[in-house]
């Protein structure tokens, strides 16, 4: 497996037109950018290139316009902000205005690379998609990963290939079937798994506990049973909550043990579980966290996520957080500066941990300068 070229592997960039695939998929409200973090995050790579005399053309998707131009997803606001932060840097129109982007159409790749000399991928959050702007340009142009992407790859492949032990993965959130693949892959490298959020109910159900009307995926119960057996056989602990918080059948706030009565819904791990999960995090040397422990958007159900976030901030372990909602929870508790790495890609970080590679990285490895 050849290595992934870095910016230095582009050689002399002076006078070259460089297409930089950025992730400018910023949160917007009525045409106004509510958080420009993703634009600012792209500046180190953009500045690296412009300081060395390159002309930078950036390109990104924004939202899901489904292959057609849609003023709601126009890049105008992003372009205006970028002009303030990096004068003279171009930004193409929303890549997903053209069906060729998601369809990886060679004609769209040709359009993107017309007049372009080199390509840089700095959009980690899109690297798990074989879209035109991700996998197309490296087939013909000297290419490299940008500084953001390079950091993501170093951190996440480091976790996968050479973590300091004990290595603990904390998983939660609501996308259960999406994440069970990574649970299985993580069982190979972690010493323990901690499972909260809506994800815990499919596991609790697989263990025979009653879960009331909590969110769960019945067709994943067998998979959870298999994963529980696999972990037991390999001596790895899967920590599940033994107390829960939610609402009873009448919709009133309630606390429960591991079993929920009929009609009840679990929306958070209980205080005992949150304390137990924190202890596991404090004793670890590496922790990867993806997925909130509960419905933290509702203040009644944020305590479990807050306690785990605080343990992530307090532990001496090397701490990595992936997932849009997990990152949002950390930011809500103002703890985002207290962990070692917050990944910009939810799906991409899980897929990289699970498979050890992504379509966008494979494409860069195949570039003519690699």
Summarize as ranges the residues that interact with Mg ion (CB under 5 A): 324-325
**Binding segment for ligand ADP among 61-69, 94-102, 140-148, 170-178 (CB under 6 A)?**
170-178
- How many chain residues touch ligand ADP (CB under 6 A)? 20
Does position 304 bind ligand ADP by CB under 6 A? no
Q: Which of 281, 279, 270 lies closest to 319, judged by CA?
A: 281
Please, what is the minimum distance in Å from the beta carbon of residue 207 to ligand ADP? 17
Give strand pairing partners of 322.
Answer: 290
Residue with tokens 């009644």, as numbered in its chain: 300
Q: Which residues of 154-186 are buried (b: 16+ CB within 10 A; e: fewer)?
A: ebbbebbeebeeebbbbbbbebbeebbebbebb
Q: Of 175 and 306, which has the nearer Cβ to ligand ADP?
A: 175
Maximum distance among all Cα pairs of the chain, rounded to whole angstroms: 69
Among 43, 192, 215, 221, binds ligand ADP (CB under 6 A): 215
Q: Which is nearer to ligand ADP, 205 or 326 (CB)?
A: 326
Distance CA 69, CA 63 (A): 12
Dihedral sign for Cα atoms in the order 30, 33, 38, 42: positive
Q: How far is the CB of 290 from ligand ADP (least distance, A)?
A: 5
Give dist(CA 330, CA 289) in Å, integer. Answer: 11
**Site map 253..292 versus ligand ADP, x via CB under 6 A:** -------------xx----------------------xxx
Partner interacting with residue 267 (select from Mg ion, ligand ADP, none; CB below 5-8 Å by kind): ligand ADP
From CA 49, how far away is CA 20, in angstroms rounded?
Answer: 10
Q: Which CB atom, from 178 or from 283, has the smaller least distance to ligand ADP?
A: 178
Query: What three-state secondary structure class fits 75?
Result: coil
Nearer to ligand ADP, 291 or 360 (CB): 291
Which residues in this chain contact ligand ADP in the complex, by CB under 6 A? 172-175, 197-198, 215, 266-267, 290-292, 294-295, 297, 323-326, 346
């Amino acid at each position: 497996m050849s290595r992934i070229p870095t910016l230095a592997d582009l050689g002399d960039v002076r006078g070259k037109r460089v297409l930089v695939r950025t992730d400018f998929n910023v949160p917007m409200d009525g045409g106004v950018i509510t958080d420009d973090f993703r634009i600012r995050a792209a500046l180190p790579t953009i500045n690296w290139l412009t300081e060395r005399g390159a002309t930078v053309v950036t390109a990104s998707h924004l939202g899901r316009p489904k292959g057609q131009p849609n003023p709601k997803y126009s890049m105008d606001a992003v372009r205006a902000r970028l002009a303030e932060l990096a004068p003279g840097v171009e930004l193409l129109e929303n890549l997903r205005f053209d069906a060729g982007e998601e369809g990886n159409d060679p004609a769209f790749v040709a359009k993107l690379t017309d007049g372009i000399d080199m390509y840089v991928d700095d959009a980690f959050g899109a690297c798990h998609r074989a879209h035109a702007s991700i996998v197309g340009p490296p087939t013909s142009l000297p290419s490299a990963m940008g500084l953001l992407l390079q950091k993501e790859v170093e951190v996440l492949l480091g976790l996968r290939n050479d973590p300091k032990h004990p290595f603990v993965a904390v998983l939660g959130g609501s996308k259960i079937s999406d994440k069970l693949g990574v649970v299985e892959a993580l069982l190979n490298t972690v010493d323990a798994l901690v499972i909260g959020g809506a994800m815990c109910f499919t596991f609790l159900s697989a263990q025979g506990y009653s879960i009331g009307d909590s969110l769960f995926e019945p067709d994943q119960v067998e998979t959870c049973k298999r994963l529980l057996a696999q972990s037991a056989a390999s001596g790895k602990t899967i920590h599940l909550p033994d107390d829960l918080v939610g609402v009873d059948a009448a919709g009133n706030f309630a606390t429960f043990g591991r079993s929920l009565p009929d009609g009840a819904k679990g929306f958070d791990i209980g205080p005992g579980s949150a304390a137990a999960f924190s202890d596991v995090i404090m004793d670890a040397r590496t922790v990867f966290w993806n997925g909130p422990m509960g419905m933290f958007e509702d203040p009644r159900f944020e305590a479990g996520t807050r306690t785990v976030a605080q343990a992530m901030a307090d532990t001496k372990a090397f701490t990595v957080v992936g997932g849009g909602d997990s990152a949002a929870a950390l930011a809500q508790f103002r703890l985002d500066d207290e962990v070692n790495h917050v990944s910009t890609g939810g799906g991409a970080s899980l897929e990289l941990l699970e498979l050890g590679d992504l379509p966008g990285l494979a494409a860069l490895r195949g570039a003519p300068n690699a």
